[in-house]
């Protein structure tokens, strides 16, 4: 049994401790925001916050996160359902096309803005390595700057 929290709710799973967190979230807990993209921690579609750190869940054995706090894209909104400043900026800038990669981007940007509330374009490029096959990178960058503005207000 591995116990941790997911989106501020307790989770206890009886699975092989080597099972990747991504599959525990999707198959065992029905948390479908994190997506399977590449399976080798390169694309970012599966990113979640583990104790506040943006992490590719496809490569994390669930046994290694016992007692940890996991936040997925579903957990970014406030308890009352109001969207986070990053989610609001994503909507304002109409970032998604297909949307498949967006949960991972939202997670990565949330961590970036917690660490650096006003990143430059170069800092964004260095920190956000997720892949968007639709090529919405200009909108993503605008949304990151917009989210930083919203966070300041």
Query: What's the rounded Cα separation, in Å, for the pair 89 and 148?
Result: 9
Confidence (pLDDT) at 153: 87
Region 53-68: mean pLDDT is 98
Confidence (pLDDT) at 111: 98
Local confidence band at 57 (pLDDT 50, 70, 90 cut-offs): very high
Tell me the CATH number for domain 85-152: 1.10.150.120
Match 């297909």 to its residue by tokens: 98
**Fold exhibited by the domain 2-75:** Ubiquitin-like (UB roll) (3.10.20)
Query: What's the rounded Cα separation, in Å, for the pair 80 and 56?
Result: 27
Residues 6+ apart with CB under 8 A from 81: none
Region 18-39: mean pLDDT is 98
Domain boundaries along the sequence of the chain: 2-75, 85-152
Region 29-45: mean pLDDT is 97
Match 């599966």 to its residue by tokens: 46
């Amino acid at each position: 049994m591995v116990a941790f929290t997911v989106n501020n709710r307790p989770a206890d799973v009886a699975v092989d401790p080597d099972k990747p967190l991504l599959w525990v979230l999707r198959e065992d807990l029905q948390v479908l925001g994190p997506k399977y993209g590449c399976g080798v921690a390169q694309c970012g579609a599966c990113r979640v916050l583990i104790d506040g750190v943006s992490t590719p869940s496809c490569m994390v054995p669930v046994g290694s996160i016992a007692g940890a706090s996991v936040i997925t894209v579903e957990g970014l909104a406030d308890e009352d359902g109001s969207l986070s400043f990053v989610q609001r900026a994503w909507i304002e800038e109409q970032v998604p096309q297909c949307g498949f990669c967006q949960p991972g981007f939202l997670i990565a940007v949330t961590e970036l803005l917690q660490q650096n509330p006003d990143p430059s374009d170069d800092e964004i490029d260095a920190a956000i390595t997720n892949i968007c096959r639709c090529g919405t990178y200009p909108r993503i960058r605008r949304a990151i700057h917009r989210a930083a503005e919203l966070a300041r207000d």
